[in-house]
Structure 1
């Protein structure tokens, strides 16, 4: 029998991370979690994960969290009945570079990057450098550093975790590259499906955080409400599958059963369908190209069901077309799009701007970013584009662009 694949889980206390750890627990013959990484705001949860999985190392971005983490580890070990001296303390990395240090110090077969936002870019590049398979849930790192990431990735090294891109990767097995006509990304439509833009003017933070299908962190949940997330996924699909942005469609599918489709040149459309459960794409990414039996429950064909599809209202939700523009131009513009959005989502969550101002202001930042159409030469180029975008977004949000 083959030995289990060793895995690093980055963003282990987040939604994707906790589900990845659950997949590992359910499939111990297949996976061993060698290390975990998180921001450090919840040392108790991180300690519980570390001891439950007997990890070799932990990374925390918050440098002041080390002492709290050590105390939480000892408390968790005691709670689980470890005798004094029996518990082996994992190696701890802390600070801004802790995650990349963890990746460099703990060799593994698979790195699952479930970190939020563009802070995942440096870990993405470090993981690719080691030769490990990168199970990528952190779409922002691919979007922000697209040319750098694609240059660093060996064939087959980059495996998507997003349910839509996992679906596309599965469906693309059904035909050759030259037979692909169009990619079709499905969207639930978010909590405001069917509303006009005017009807979303008074949306509250609480309203926007109430996603009808998925349980996710605040950034991704707000992005799903604005459909920025679907725009980011369009750019991600272009980069992952080498398909131009104008050959990628977005269709609203409220049931979230069909996760994406491919229309081939002969008129055939293949789809991947399963009840919404992120453990399926996570398990597949960790074990790619092989499936994990029983990863999630399948569709029931002995029960009546109806699946509906409807066109996206680009007037009410302009984020997808704005992302299509950014992805088509390429260069550093996708990084500008993503960073400006992150800044404005934070402003919305803080009560400083309205819901519809998020995408409206991102559009103004993208229009002003004429100096960022060039490709990034290195990480510092990406960071500079992001810094410019955040500053410009904050200025427009504060002054109304005056």
Structure 2
């Protein structure tokens, strides 16, 4: 019966990140710097709110878009943090993580043969969803532009088929972000065009030298804009699976239809935990951010000492150094690192072919693990 499976499904693969992680799992004496999983626990007050919701029998369906109280908290939170203005009644949808928000966005706005521009190298979670919608991912080469999809780079890739541009900043896998001026140039470029802009801002709370600036502040493109955020990284709530999507009412009402038939609503228990996080835990990310910055600075300095070309990240918790590979691929280098150095990094080609020659290092690990990982990498080189 396999020949009857949807061709779009048969043509996509498991994420290269997970594929490599699964490959090295179970091997003894391996230092793994592969997964973007915060090594902090969910804050205690958030966990208690989740437990209390169970004890109080808040275990039923909620509004499809999420509890109004939660949507109000989301709207207040993004207004305070990023100066964004969205009506909680009609322009905010709570989702099952940011991943589901991305999925419903693509399924709502894309039609067969549409094109979606992505900055390459790029997180591998976008391309398969675009392809499942019958559309075409277009990878814009940002390697000579410090991995930034700025307006001058973007303009070269826009065609009559372009339906959407994805701005995933701070970026996974590079950690770079865009400045206010760079975002304004993009807003001016697409203003009035029949092009959506999806801003994936899941790492918005994890920026180091300066606060995150959201492209959503440029209200002249508000009706073209879909903003996605969530609590997985900011509050170390990856397993709770709560994200949210912000869009004008004209777009959100269609997103909600796809969302409803997809999941009905996010888990009620997680919604109560998220409510606590967004109201009483607005500063929960602060100590995590401070620790990540220390780790970033340490790993970056070590890579510099090793002579590896690396762009200093603005946010998230990844570095993306270029390796002087004389022969073979990034994947083969990854296997060699595992076999000879006992070190697991994610091969750069997991992030599109433009990631070939690079390796992603996650510093969402404690300093002891990072120091041992850097020692093994230095010895290997």
Normalization by structure 2: what TM-score? Answer: 0.31
